[in-house]
Amino acid sequence: MQKQLIECVPNFSEGRNLGVIKQITNVIESVDGVKLLDVDPGAATNRTVVTFVGEPNPVIEAAYLAIKKASELIDMKQHSGEHPRMGATDVCPLIPISGISMEETAEYANKLAERVGNDLSIPVYLYENAQKDKSRDNLAVIRAGEYEKMASKIESKKLLPDFGPHTMNFSSGCTAIGARDFLIAYNINLNTTSTRIANRVAFDVREAGRVKREGNPYVGKIVKDENGESVRIPGKLKNVKAIGWYIEEYKVAQISMNLTNFRKTPVHTAYEEVFNSCLERGVRVTGSELVGLIPLSAMLEAGRYFLKKQERSLGITEEEIIHIAVKSLGLDELAPFDLQL
């Protein structure tokens, strides 16, 4: 029988104090049967993405201990950063890797969420495949308004937590726990400091696109449909979420993307669309970075894509193909990356 393996990728609202991050990863590594794969802190976002893997029960035990430790060490009342956030442990997704279905993974997410809510008094929201109510399974909808608006959303009963208290935990904030497919977190750097330009590029490419406006496409009056809802112009890329922001540590604006289905929208396709949108706006892509892991297959596909564009033979080693992908995507400009086999 194939061993069941799930991956856990919690995002903690601390990216500057390496001592705090180390205390959190220490409790993860203290659990037998769990392997810590990656720790990726960001100073400008003030956020750290941690990746670990193992059999389901050890993984959810490690996740619980990490969420507990983060709640002890991170005070959301003092937190600020570029990335949207609502809690000390902002999100904690579980991803099926082998020998386990999405439905089973979602059950483990519910089990973890119930324990966190009950034992740690943290309001917990289920999202994506762990959430049965599809009107509230979108993380962006749950987190809208971020930490500063969560208390009023709970008090007004507009968005009650699935587990835990129906009151705000002002120290730890709220946490979203879910089950989802593998996601590639991918950022592209521009030769500008303008978040306005970066956001316009993000709106060009992300699936949600932008709201439609009368006259000026950026500041004109928003067009409404017969139900009073904003009309949207879809972006170019399916299964892509994107936002533009300024990264102080690099001194550049950046397009931050989540590729939620890299088989439908590969990383090289996302890069090319951002590259083309930038050219139309008089800016240039200067490099890119991965946050966390990327499947080996995604890098090989990217390398072969660029080799074909160069009209070169594909009959080279995998190492050489990956080298072409890294150079073509500009992944060696700022930060190292990890491949997930």
Q: Are 248 and 195 in contact (CB under 8 A)?
A: no
Q: Tell the residue number behind the tokens 């997930």, with chain if given.
A: 340
**What is the C-alpha to C-alpha distance for residues 314 and 304, in angstroms, rounded to an integer?**
6
Per the structure block, which two tokens stand in for 107? Answer: 């059950």
Q: Residue 203: what are its φ and ψ, rounded to 5°?
A: -65, -30
Q: Are 206 and 240 in contact (CB under 8 A)?
A: yes
**What is the C-alpha to C-alpha distance for residues 5 and 96, in angstroms, rounded to an integer?**
7
What does the H/E/C string look like for the chain?
CCCCEEEECCEECCCCCHHHHHHHHHHHHCCCCEEEEEEEEECCCCEEEEEEEECHHHHHHHHHHHHHHHHHHCCHHHCCCCCCCCECEEEEEEEEEECCCHHHHHHHHHHHHHHHHHHHCCCEEEEECCCCCHHHCCHHHHHCCHHHHHHHHHHCCCCCCCECCCCCCCCCECEEEEECCCCEEEEEEECCCCHHHHHHHHHHHCCCCEECECCCCCCCCECECCCCCECEECCCCCCEEEEEEEECCCCEEEEEEEECCCCCCCHHHHHHHHHHHHHHCCCCEEEEEEECEEEHHHHHHHHHHHHHHCCCCCCCCHHHHHHHHHHHHCCCCCCCCEEEC
Check 83, 166, 268, 323 and give the catalytic one. 83
**What is the C-alpha to C-alpha distance for residues 162 and 111, in angstroms, rounded to an integer?**
12
Residue 83 designated active-site: yes
Just list the catalytic residues.
83
